Chain A
Amino acid sequence: MPKVEFDRERCKGCELCVPVCPKDIVLMDDVINQKGYRVATVREMDKCIGCAMCAMMCPDTVIKVFK
């Protein structure tokens, strides 16, 4: 089952990963990290196809992708 992991404390909440997801499952969480940014996350992980588009777009290497 493909999945993605977000390193919350690295995320700067730029949201560049949100529109590139072909399954439209990346969203901004309500949680705020220690830097004070709203972090990106995926709730419907079962829909993830492990394409790594979000990780390719992320400027801060927040995302790790498994397949």
Chain B
Amino acid sequence: MNVVFERTPALSDRPTHYCPGCTHGIIHRLVAEALDELGVREKAVGVAPVGCAVLAYNYFNCDVQQAAHGRAPAVATGIKRVNADNVVFTYQGDGDLASIGCAEIVHAAARGEKITTIFVNNAIYGMTGGQMAPTTLEGQKTTTSPYGRKIESTGHPIQVSEMLATLPGAVFVERVSVHDVPNIRKAKKAIKKAFEDQLNGQGFGIVELLSTCPTNWGMAPQEALEWLTGNMIPYYPLGNFRSPEEVE
């Protein structure tokens, strides 16, 4: 009898601190599987954000540096420029990347830094207690928008992939989701492609993954996946916005 599915070596056996049903665990696994399948675990360096994934260094069996809030792309830039042979990735949430770290990610993409960003978008601040994020949808209730987000006072949610795809330095931009098995497979393919582009020295790559936050959305895990499908995907359409093949 053969093992057809088990924990990949790049993922440590330490149980995660994430809430039940949080899709961070799925995304961690996809990143780890991509590193193992490309055989780059020994030269991979991750940069963890501030947010729920702040303890990511406990879960990846590769080198990981934790960065100041939003500054993961800046730290990753330094690591990659000094050690060009390493495979460097940042793992950031939407509060980290789209709010306080907005300048860092835009300029890392503009400079075409040869790093890969795993951007987990769950439309809310998770760790700090469910506050409104730049990616929170119109009408979505959070602890700081208890009557639902209002466009006239807080503006429109930021579509990060669309924004970064306008920059010539960003060679790979794709938005995927992890709400069901076919989409999880597509997400894995996108992450692997982003790492391959980095290995080929092609430039900045970002994979935006639509994710859930059952605890702060106030939903059961399965209900949260349905909410993602019905509400997030219409505003954050899935698909590839840029790939090196079309840039050349």
For the complex, give the distance between the alpha carbons of A16 and B7 in Å.
18
Chain B residues with Cβ below 8 Å from A65 are: 3-6
Chain B positions within 8 Å of A59 at CB level: 16, 18, 21-26, 29
With an 8 A cutoff between CB atoms, is A47 at the interface? no
Chain B: interface residue total (CB-CB under 8 A): 29
Binary CB contact string for chain B from 1 to 20 against chain A (1 if under 8 A, 0 otherwise): 11111110001000110111
- What per-residue 1/0 map shows which CB atoms of A12-53 lie under 8 Å from chain B? 111110111000000000000000010000000000001011
- Cα distance, A13 to B220, chains bound together (Å): 11
Q: How far is the CB of B89 from chain A (nearest CB, A)?
A: 20
- Looking at the assembled complex, report how far the CB atom of A43 sits from the nearest CB atom of chain B, in whole angstroms: 20
Chain B: minimal CB distance from A40 (Å)? 11
The residues of B that contact A64 with a CB separation of less than 8 Å are: 3, 5-7
Distance in angstroms between the alpha carbons of A37 and B36 in the assembled complex: 31
Q: How far is the CB of B1 from chain A (nearest CB, A)?
A: 5
The range of chain A's interface size is: 20 to 34
Report which residue of A14, A63, A67 has the largest number of chain B beta carbons within 10 angstroms of its beta carbon. A14
Residue of A nearest to B32 (CB): A61
A39–B2 Cα distance when bound, in Å, is 25
Bound together, the chains give a CA A64 to CA B6 distance in angstroms of: 5
Report whether A57 and B184 are in contact in the complex, using a CB–CB cutoff of 8 Å.
yes
Chain B's nearest CB lies how many Å from the CB of A36? 11
Tell me the smallest distance from the CB of A60 to a CB of chain B, in Å.
5
Neighbouring A residues of B3 by C-beta, 8 Å:
64-66
The minimal Cβ–Cβ distance linking B227 to chain A, given in whole angstroms, is 14
On whether the beta carbons of A66 and B4 are closer than 8 Å, the reply is yes
Q: What is the CA–CA distance of A55 and B185 in the complex, to the nearest angstrom?
A: 12
What's the Cα separation between A58 and B21 when bound, in Å?
A: 8
Known pairs A55-B5, A59-B26, A61-B29; A20 contacts B225 (CB<8 A): no
Set of chain A residues within 8 Å of B1, measured between Cβ atoms = 1, 3, 66-67
| Known contacts A65-B3, A66-B3; A10/B20 CB under 8 A | no
Docked Cα-Cα span, A40 to B124, in Å, equals 28
> What 9 A-B pairs have minimum CB-CB distances, sorted nearest first?
A59-B25, A14-B21, A12-B20, A65-B5, A14-B20, A52-B5, A14-B221, A55-B5, A61-B7
| Interface CB pairs A-B, < 8 A, 19 | A1-B1, A12-B21, A14-B20, A14-B21, A15-B221, A20-B181, A37-B20, A57-B181, A58-B25, A59-B23, A60-B18, A61-B6, A64-B7, A65-B6, A66-B1, A66-B2, A66-B4, A67-B1, A67-B4
